[in-house]
Amino acid sequence: MNVKRHTELWRTVKFVLFSASAGVIELLSFSLLNELIHAEYWFSYLTALVLSVLWNFTLNRRFTFKSTTNVPVAMLKVFAYYCVFTPVTTILGNYLVETRGWNEYLVTFINMVFNLITEFLYQKYVVYRNSIDTNELAKKEIAPEESPRTLHI
């Protein structure tokens, strides 16, 4: 497997793993609000989503995309994504749970899978498009065939 393909595969795996950890945060906070406080679906979902987004953004910026992009600018771009994603999934999710009787955990899981796929594509091709692999971690991981060859005498 060539280096670029390997790098992109590993980037995808890291995004999925970090997103899974954000998913745990989202499910735990959703469950606490839903089961202990008996909050409305929309409130539980929105609170859990915000917590998971902050976690996911922080980890993926540094370790997955290894970006030095301006944090406020990147956050604004992610905020723009969530300005579309959040109302759509909150309104649709609330409709499915409250009106159609769907299980709130099933709806939350569907939203999480949809979020995983669309956010990866958005972050890779919009948020970090021109700054992938520019931070100090990326610079330390220069592939052997890309590093300069030195002659030791």
Mean pLDDT (whole number) for 127-143: 86
What does pTM read for this prediction?
0.78
Which residues span the domain enclosing 70? Answer: 9-134
* Predicted confidence (pLDDT) at residue 13 exceeds the cutoff of 60: yes
Instruction: Report if residue 152 sits inside a domain.
Output: no
Does some domain include residue 2? no
The answer to whether position 25 is within a domain reads yes
pLDDT band at 2 (very low <50, low <70, confident <90, very high): confident
Contact 60/12 with Cβ under 8 angstroms?
Answer: no
Residue 113: the pLDDT is: 92
Quick one: tokens of 36?
């202990």
Is 146 within the bounds of a domain?
no
pLDDT of residue 142: 63
Is residue 41 situated within a structural domain?
A: yes
Instruction: Kindly state whether residue 149 falls inside one of the protein's structural domains.
Output: no
pLDDT of residue 1: 66
Residue 21: other Cβ atoms inside 10 A: 13
Domain count, the chain: 1
Q: What's the average model confidence in pLDDT over 28-32?
A: 95
Residue 153 counted as domain residue: no
- Whether 28 and 91 have beta carbons less than 8 Å apart is answered as no
In a domain, 143, yes or no: no
